[in-house]
Amino acid sequence: KPGEQKHSKEPSSLQCMHLAVVACGDRLEETLIMLKSAVLFSNRRLCFHIFAEDSLKPEFEKKLKEWPSSYTKKFEYNIYPITFSVGNAQEWKKLFKPCAAQRLFLPVILKDVDSLLYVDTDVLFLRPIDDIWHVLKEFNSTQLAAMAPEHEIPKIGWYSRFARHPYYGTTGVNSGVMLMNLTRIRNTRFKNSMIPSGLSWEEMLYPLYQKYKNYITWGDQDLLNIIFYFNPECLYVFPCQWNYRPDHCMYGSNCRGAEEEGVSILHGNRGVYHDDKQPTFKALYEVIRDFPFEDNLFQSLYYPLQSKFLDTVHTLCGRIPQVFLKQIEKTMKKVYENRVIVYLGANHRY
Protein backbone atom coordinates (compact mmCIF):
# COMPACT_ATOMS: atom_id res chain seq x y z
CA LYS A 1 0.00 0.00 0.00
CA PRO A 2 1.28 3.53 -0.65
CA GLY A 3 3.01 5.03 2.33
CA GLU A 4 3.17 1.75 4.17
CA GLN A 5 6.51 0.90 5.75
CA LYS A 6 7.27 -2.79 5.96
CA HIS A 7 9.95 -4.27 8.18
CA SER A 8 10.75 -7.95 7.62
CA LYS A 9 8.28 -10.51 6.34
CA GLU A 10 4.80 -10.71 7.78
CA PRO A 11 4.59 -13.71 10.08
CA SER A 12 1.44 -15.78 10.10
CA SER A 13 -1.37 -14.67 12.38
CA LEU A 14 -0.71 -17.71 14.53
CA GLN A 15 2.79 -16.47 15.30
CA CYS A 16 2.04 -12.78 15.65
CA MET A 17 -0.20 -10.70 17.91
CA HIS A 18 -1.38 -7.63 16.00
CA LEU A 19 -1.58 -4.32 17.86
CA ALA A 20 -2.93 -1.14 16.23
CA VAL A 21 -2.74 2.47 17.39
CA VAL A 22 -3.59 5.84 15.83
CA ALA A 23 -1.25 8.75 16.62
CA CYS A 24 -1.73 12.35 15.59
CA GLY A 25 -0.75 15.72 16.99
CA ASP A 26 1.36 15.55 20.14
CA ARG A 27 0.84 11.82 20.82
CA LEU A 28 4.28 10.56 19.71
CA GLU A 29 5.76 10.06 23.18
CA GLU A 30 2.56 8.55 24.62
CA THR A 31 2.39 6.06 21.75
CA LEU A 32 6.03 5.04 22.17
CA ILE A 33 5.56 4.45 25.92
CA MET A 34 2.49 2.32 25.16
CA LEU A 35 4.50 0.25 22.63
CA LYS A 36 7.34 -0.01 25.15
CA SER A 37 4.99 -1.45 27.80
CA ALA A 38 3.73 -3.98 25.22
CA VAL A 39 7.26 -5.12 24.31
CA LEU A 40 8.54 -5.25 27.90
CA PHE A 41 6.08 -7.91 29.00
CA SER A 42 4.89 -9.78 25.90
CA ASN A 43 5.85 -13.40 25.28
CA ARG A 44 4.88 -14.01 21.66
CA ARG A 45 5.99 -11.87 18.73
CA LEU A 46 4.17 -8.58 18.12
CA CYS A 47 3.15 -6.81 14.91
CA PHE A 48 2.55 -3.09 15.41
CA HIS A 49 0.24 -1.24 13.00
CA ILE A 50 0.90 2.46 13.57
CA PHE A 51 -1.42 4.92 11.84
CA ALA A 52 0.19 8.36 11.97
CA GLU A 53 0.31 11.76 10.34
CA ASP A 54 3.06 12.00 7.73
CA SER A 55 5.13 14.34 9.92
CA LEU A 56 5.33 11.73 12.70
CA LYS A 57 6.47 8.81 10.54
CA PRO A 58 10.23 9.63 10.53
CA GLU A 59 10.07 10.29 14.28
CA PHE A 60 8.57 6.88 14.97
CA GLU A 61 11.17 5.17 12.79
CA LYS A 62 14.03 7.04 14.46
CA LYS A 63 12.88 6.27 18.01
CA LEU A 64 12.05 2.61 17.39
CA LYS A 65 15.48 2.04 15.83
CA GLU A 66 17.08 3.34 19.03
CA TRP A 67 15.61 0.50 21.10
CA PRO A 68 18.09 -2.31 21.92
CA SER A 69 18.12 -5.32 19.61
CA SER A 70 17.06 -7.65 22.44
CA TYR A 71 13.69 -5.89 22.25
CA THR A 72 13.43 -4.93 18.57
CA LYS A 73 13.68 -8.60 17.64
CA LYS A 74 10.40 -9.17 19.52
CA PHE A 75 8.33 -7.10 17.09
CA GLU A 76 7.97 -5.70 13.61
CA TYR A 77 6.03 -2.63 12.60
CA ASN A 78 4.18 -1.02 9.72
CA ILE A 79 3.45 2.70 9.54
CA TYR A 80 0.39 3.81 7.58
CA PRO A 81 -0.92 7.23 6.56
CA ILE A 82 -4.28 8.41 7.92
CA THR A 83 -6.94 7.41 5.37
CA PHE A 84 -10.73 7.09 5.35
CA SER A 85 -12.25 4.84 2.71
CA VAL A 86 -15.78 6.29 2.72
CA GLY A 87 -17.32 9.69 3.36
CA ASN A 88 -15.59 13.01 3.89
CA ALA A 89 -12.04 12.69 5.25
CA GLN A 90 -12.10 16.12 6.90
CA GLU A 91 -15.32 15.27 8.73
CA TRP A 92 -13.85 12.02 10.01
CA LYS A 93 -10.66 13.78 11.14
CA LYS A 94 -12.66 16.28 13.18
CA LEU A 95 -15.10 13.76 14.60
CA PHE A 96 -13.46 13.67 18.03
CA LYS A 97 -9.75 13.84 18.85
CA PRO A 98 -7.51 14.22 15.78
CA CYS A 99 -7.69 11.10 13.60
CA ALA A 100 -9.35 8.93 16.29
CA ALA A 101 -12.03 7.84 13.76
CA GLN A 102 -9.27 5.96 11.88
CA ARG A 103 -9.93 2.97 14.17
CA LEU A 104 -13.35 2.50 12.53
CA PHE A 105 -11.60 1.72 9.24
CA LEU A 106 -9.12 -0.90 10.48
CA PRO A 107 -11.17 -3.85 9.11
CA VAL A 108 -11.17 -2.18 5.69
CA ILE A 109 -7.49 -1.20 5.57
CA LEU A 110 -5.88 -4.25 7.20
CA LYS A 111 -7.40 -6.77 4.81
CA ASP A 112 -4.68 -9.38 5.42
CA VAL A 113 -4.97 -9.29 9.22
CA ASP A 114 -7.34 -11.79 10.84
CA SER A 115 -7.48 -10.45 14.42
CA LEU A 116 -6.25 -7.30 16.07
CA LEU A 117 -6.04 -5.45 19.38
CA TYR A 118 -6.66 -1.71 19.00
CA VAL A 119 -5.65 0.62 21.85
CA ASP A 120 -5.64 4.36 22.38
CA THR A 121 -2.24 6.05 22.71
CA ASP A 122 -2.81 6.63 26.46
CA VAL A 123 -2.87 2.91 27.31
CA LEU A 124 -0.21 0.99 29.29
CA PHE A 125 0.10 -2.80 29.46
CA LEU A 126 0.81 -4.10 32.96
CA ARG A 127 0.81 -7.76 31.88
CA PRO A 128 1.55 -9.61 28.62
CA ILE A 129 -0.65 -8.84 25.62
CA ASP A 130 -0.76 -12.63 25.24
CA ASP A 131 -3.32 -12.72 28.08
CA ILE A 132 -5.89 -10.46 26.42
CA TRP A 133 -5.12 -12.06 23.04
CA HIS A 134 -6.42 -15.36 24.49
CA VAL A 135 -9.86 -13.73 24.85
CA LEU A 136 -10.28 -14.18 21.07
CA LYS A 137 -10.65 -17.90 21.75
CA GLU A 138 -13.50 -17.19 24.16
CA PHE A 139 -15.66 -15.56 21.47
CA ASN A 140 -18.78 -17.53 20.61
CA SER A 141 -19.88 -18.00 17.00
CA THR A 142 -21.46 -14.52 16.68
CA GLN A 143 -19.00 -12.36 18.64
CA LEU A 144 -16.53 -10.34 16.60
CA ALA A 145 -15.27 -7.64 18.98
CA ALA A 146 -14.62 -7.17 22.69
CA MET A 147 -14.69 -4.02 24.84
CA ALA A 148 -15.08 -3.13 28.52
CA PRO A 149 -18.06 -1.22 29.97
CA GLU A 150 -17.84 2.56 30.00
CA HIS A 151 -18.83 2.47 33.66
CA GLU A 152 -19.60 -0.04 36.38
CA ILE A 153 -22.41 1.92 38.04
CA PRO A 154 -25.33 3.02 35.79
CA LYS A 155 -26.50 5.86 38.03
CA ILE A 156 -23.18 7.69 37.69
CA GLY A 157 -22.28 6.50 34.17
CA TRP A 158 -22.08 9.02 31.32
CA TYR A 159 -24.19 7.16 28.74
CA SER A 160 -26.94 6.21 31.18
CA ARG A 161 -27.30 9.86 32.24
CA PHE A 162 -26.58 11.95 29.16
CA ALA A 163 -26.56 9.98 25.89
CA ARG A 164 -28.99 11.14 23.19
CA HIS A 165 -28.39 8.12 20.95
CA PRO A 166 -28.64 4.32 21.34
CA TYR A 167 -25.79 2.67 23.25
CA TYR A 168 -24.78 -0.84 24.26
CA GLY A 169 -26.14 -2.36 27.47
CA THR A 170 -26.83 -0.32 30.61
CA THR A 171 -23.69 1.85 30.67
CA GLY A 172 -22.29 1.73 27.12
CA VAL A 173 -18.80 0.47 26.25
CA ASN A 174 -15.42 2.20 26.11
CA SER A 175 -13.46 1.79 22.87
CA GLY A 176 -9.98 2.64 24.21
CA VAL A 177 -9.14 -1.07 24.32
CA MET A 178 -10.87 -3.03 21.57
CA LEU A 179 -10.16 -6.61 20.52
CA MET A 180 -11.40 -7.39 17.01
CA ASN A 181 -11.81 -10.43 14.79
CA LEU A 182 -11.43 -8.46 11.54
CA THR A 183 -12.33 -11.45 9.35
CA ARG A 184 -15.71 -11.78 11.05
CA ILE A 185 -16.29 -8.02 10.90
CA ARG A 186 -15.62 -8.02 7.14
CA ASN A 187 -17.98 -10.99 6.59
CA THR A 188 -20.94 -9.79 8.69
CA ARG A 189 -24.11 -7.97 7.64
CA PHE A 190 -24.96 -5.63 10.49
CA LYS A 191 -28.46 -4.76 11.64
CA ASN A 192 -29.02 -1.02 11.75
CA SER A 193 -31.69 1.69 11.91
CA MET A 194 -31.46 2.54 8.20
CA ILE A 195 -31.78 -0.53 5.95
CA PRO A 196 -33.71 -3.67 6.99
CA SER A 197 -31.53 -6.07 5.00
CA GLY A 198 -28.34 -5.20 6.89
CA LEU A 199 -25.13 -3.51 5.78
CA SER A 200 -21.48 -4.42 5.66
CA TRP A 201 -19.16 -2.64 8.10
CA GLU A 202 -17.81 -0.28 5.44
CA GLU A 203 -21.26 0.45 3.96
CA MET A 204 -22.65 1.29 7.38
CA LEU A 205 -20.11 3.78 8.74
CA TYR A 206 -20.86 6.99 6.86
CA PRO A 207 -24.69 6.74 6.77
CA LEU A 208 -24.61 5.97 10.50
CA TYR A 209 -22.46 9.02 11.15
CA GLN A 210 -24.74 11.19 9.01
CA LYS A 211 -27.82 10.01 10.91
CA TYR A 212 -26.43 10.54 14.41
CA LYS A 213 -23.77 13.25 14.01
CA ASN A 214 -25.86 15.88 15.83
CA TYR A 215 -26.31 13.60 18.85
CA ILE A 216 -22.87 12.12 19.45
CA THR A 217 -20.36 13.52 21.97
CA TRP A 218 -17.52 10.98 22.03
CA GLY A 219 -17.10 10.56 18.28
CA ASP A 220 -16.19 7.10 17.02
CA GLN A 221 -16.83 5.52 20.44
CA ASP A 222 -20.45 6.65 20.20
CA LEU A 223 -20.73 5.15 16.71
CA LEU A 224 -19.42 1.83 18.03
CA ASN A 225 -21.98 1.96 20.84
CA ILE A 226 -24.75 2.54 18.28
CA ILE A 227 -23.52 -0.38 16.14
CA PHE A 228 -23.48 -2.78 19.09
CA TYR A 229 -26.82 -1.52 20.40
CA PHE A 230 -28.33 -2.92 17.19
CA ASN A 231 -26.01 -5.97 17.18
CA PRO A 232 -25.50 -6.95 20.85
CA GLU A 233 -24.86 -10.58 19.95
CA CYS A 234 -21.67 -9.45 18.16
CA LEU A 235 -19.97 -8.06 21.27
CA TYR A 236 -17.97 -9.82 23.98
CA VAL A 237 -17.71 -7.66 27.13
CA PHE A 238 -14.52 -8.09 29.11
CA PRO A 239 -14.14 -6.89 32.72
CA CYS A 240 -12.94 -3.47 33.84
CA GLN A 241 -9.37 -4.50 34.79
CA TRP A 242 -8.66 -4.74 31.04
CA ASN A 243 -9.48 -1.05 30.54
CA TYR A 244 -8.89 0.62 33.91
CA ARG A 245 -9.51 4.37 33.91
CA PRO A 246 -9.53 7.16 36.52
CA ASP A 247 -13.33 6.74 36.79
CA HIS A 248 -12.69 3.36 38.42
CA CYS A 249 -11.05 4.89 41.49
CA MET A 250 -11.42 8.69 41.59
CA TYR A 251 -14.87 8.47 43.23
CA GLY A 252 -13.97 5.38 45.26
CA SER A 253 -12.97 1.94 44.02
CA ASN A 254 -15.64 0.43 41.75
CA CYS A 255 -13.78 -2.16 39.63
CA ARG A 256 -14.04 -5.44 41.49
CA GLY A 257 -11.93 -7.31 38.96
CA ALA A 258 -9.00 -4.95 39.56
CA GLU A 259 -9.39 -5.31 43.32
CA GLU A 260 -9.18 -9.09 42.97
CA GLU A 261 -6.62 -9.48 40.16
CA GLY A 262 -4.96 -6.08 39.83
CA VAL A 263 -5.06 -3.77 36.80
CA SER A 264 -4.18 -5.57 33.55
CA ILE A 265 -4.37 -2.62 31.14
CA LEU A 266 -4.21 0.97 32.38
CA HIS A 267 -6.03 3.64 30.35
CA GLY A 268 -4.96 7.13 31.34
CA ASN A 269 -7.71 9.10 29.63
CA ARG A 270 -8.55 12.70 30.59
CA GLY A 271 -4.82 13.52 30.06
CA VAL A 272 -3.91 12.21 33.54
CA TYR A 273 -0.35 11.20 32.55
CA HIS A 274 0.45 14.86 31.97
CA ASP A 275 -1.14 16.72 34.91
CA ASP A 276 -1.30 16.22 38.67
CA LYS A 277 -4.96 15.29 39.02
CA GLN A 278 -4.31 11.51 39.28
CA PRO A 279 -0.72 10.99 40.46
CA THR A 280 -1.05 7.17 40.57
CA PHE A 281 -1.62 7.09 36.80
CA LYS A 282 1.15 9.60 36.20
CA ALA A 283 3.57 7.57 38.36
CA LEU A 284 3.06 4.42 36.27
CA TYR A 285 3.50 6.35 33.03
CA GLU A 286 6.72 8.05 34.18
CA VAL A 287 8.29 4.89 35.57
CA ILE A 288 7.72 2.95 32.33
CA ARG A 289 8.87 5.97 30.29
CA ASP A 290 12.11 6.29 32.30
CA PHE A 291 12.89 2.57 32.58
CA PRO A 292 16.21 1.78 30.82
CA PHE A 293 15.35 -1.18 28.58
CA GLU A 294 18.00 -3.64 29.72
CA ASP A 295 18.01 -2.85 33.43
CA ASN A 296 16.60 -5.12 36.12
CA LEU A 297 12.81 -4.82 36.15
CA PHE A 298 12.49 -4.93 39.92
CA GLN A 299 15.30 -2.50 40.70
CA SER A 300 14.60 0.03 37.93
CA LEU A 301 10.84 -0.25 37.50
CA TYR A 302 8.99 -1.89 40.39
CA TYR A 303 10.86 -0.33 43.33
CA PRO A 304 10.75 3.22 41.90
CA LEU A 305 7.03 2.68 41.32
CA GLN A 306 6.47 1.66 44.94
CA SER A 307 8.40 4.73 46.06
CA LYS A 308 6.36 7.09 43.83
CA PHE A 309 3.11 5.56 45.08
CA LEU A 310 3.94 6.66 48.65
CA ASP A 311 3.42 10.22 47.44
CA THR A 312 -0.09 9.47 46.13
CA VAL A 313 -1.81 8.15 49.28
CA HIS A 314 -3.67 11.45 49.73
CA THR A 315 -5.80 10.59 46.64
CA LEU A 316 -8.61 8.04 46.40
CA CYS A 317 -6.74 6.14 43.65
CA GLY A 318 -3.51 6.27 45.69
CA ARG A 319 -5.19 4.60 48.66
CA ILE A 320 -5.44 1.31 46.76
CA PRO A 321 -1.83 0.80 45.52
CA GLN A 322 -2.26 -2.99 45.48
CA VAL A 323 -4.79 -2.59 42.64
CA PHE A 324 -2.10 -0.98 40.49
CA LEU A 325 0.86 -3.07 41.68
CA LYS A 326 -0.53 -6.60 41.95
CA GLN A 327 -0.55 -7.52 38.28
CA ILE A 328 2.67 -5.76 37.31
CA GLU A 329 4.52 -7.49 40.17
CA LYS A 330 3.17 -10.87 39.06
CA THR A 331 4.15 -10.12 35.45
CA MET A 332 7.69 -9.10 36.37
CA LYS A 333 8.18 -12.24 38.45
CA LYS A 334 7.19 -14.33 35.42
CA VAL A 335 9.54 -12.40 33.12
CA TYR A 336 12.38 -12.83 35.63
CA GLU A 337 11.66 -16.55 36.15
CA ASN A 338 11.52 -17.16 32.39
CA ARG A 339 14.86 -15.45 31.87
CA VAL A 340 16.53 -17.33 34.74
CA ILE A 341 15.08 -20.69 33.63
CA VAL A 342 16.08 -20.09 30.01
CA TYR A 343 19.56 -18.97 31.09
CA LEU A 344 20.09 -21.93 33.44
CA GLY A 345 18.64 -24.33 30.89
CA ALA A 346 21.00 -23.05 28.21
CA ASN A 347 24.01 -23.40 30.51
CA HIS A 348 22.92 -26.81 31.73
CA ARG A 349 23.21 -28.20 28.22
CA TYR A 350 26.94 -27.47 28.06
Q: What pLDDT score does 213 carry?
A: 83
User: What pLDDT is recorded for position 97?
Assistant: 65
> Where does the pLDDT of residue 11 fall: very low under 50, low under 70, confident under 90, or very high at 90 and above?
very low
pLDDT-derived band at 345, boundaries 50, 70, 90: low
157 part of a folded domain: yes
Alpha-helical (H) ranges within 154-292 are 158-162, 182-187, 201-212, 220-230, 256-261, 279-290
The CB-based long-range contact list for 28-32 (8 Å cut-off, 24+ gap) reads 28/56, 28/59, 28/60, 28/63, 29/289, 30/121, 30/122, 30/273, 31/60, 31/121, 32/60, 32/63, 32/64
What percent of the chain has pLDDT above 70? 90
Q: Are residues 214 and 262 in the same domain?
A: no
Q: Is 134 found in the same domain as 198?
A: yes
CATH number at residue 224: 3.90.550.10
Of residues 253 and 342, which shows the higher confidence score? Answer: 253
pLDDT in tens, 134-143: 999 999 999 9
Same domain, 203 and 84: yes
Q: Are 56 and 23 in contact (CB under 8 A)?
A: yes
pLDDT at 14: 52
What is the tally of structural domains in the chain?
Answer: 2
Domain final position from 198, 218, 238: 238
pLDDT reported for residue 8:
43
**Boundary of a domain, candidates 220, 238, 256:** 238
pLDDT tens-digit readout, 271-315: 999 999 999 999 999 999 999 998 888 999 999 999 999 999 999
Identify whether residues 30 and 131 lie together within a single domain: yes
Which is nearest to 331 in space by CA: 293, 302, 288? 302
Residue 2 has a pLDDT of 41
- Say yes or no to pLDDT of 10 above 80: no
- The confidence score (pLDDT) of residue 72 equals 94
List Cβ neighbours of 341 (8 Å cut-off, separation of 6 or more). Answer: none
Residue pLDDT, tens place only, 165-195: 887 888 899 999 999 999 999 999 999 988 8
Does residue 12 sit within a domain?
Answer: no
Which residues constitute the domain of residue 206? 17-238
Question: What is the Cα–Cα distance from 201 to 185, expressed in whole angstroms?
Answer: 7
Average pLDDT, the chain: 89
Per-residue model confidence as pLDDT tens digits over 39-48: 999 999 999 9
What is the pLDDT at residue 350? 45
- From the list 345, 282, 270, 271, the residue with the least C-alpha distance to 311 is 282
Q: What is the pLDDT of residues 223-278, one digit of tens each?
A: 999 999 999 999 999 999 999 999 999 988 999 999 999 999 999 998 999 999 99
Q: Which residues contact 326 (CB under 8 A, 6 or more apart)?
A: 261, 262, 263
Would you give the end-to-end CA distance of the chain in angstroms? 48
Residue 216 sits in the same domain as residue 337: no
Q: Rounded to an integer, what distance in angstroms lies between the CA atom of residue 254 and that of residue 95?
A: 30
Looking at the structure, tell me whether residues 42 and 160 fall in a common domain.
yes
Its pTM stands at 0.91
Cα 75 to Cα 286: distance, rounded to the nearest angstrom: 23
Q: Domain check: are 34 and 58 in the same one?
A: yes
Query: How many other C-beta atoms can be found within 10 angstroms of the C-beta atom of residue 11?
Result: 12
Residue 341 banded pLDDT, cuts 50, 70, 90: low
pLDDT tens for each residue of 49-85: 999 999 999 999 999 999 999 999 999 999 999 888 7
Residue finishing a domain among 204, 238, 272: 238
Across the chain, the runs of DSSP E, i.e. the strands, are 16-23, 45-52, 75-80, 115-119, 123-125, 145-149, 173-181, 235-237, 265-267
Is the domain of 81 the same as that of 217?
A: yes
| CA dihedral (175, 179, 183, 189) positive or negative | negative
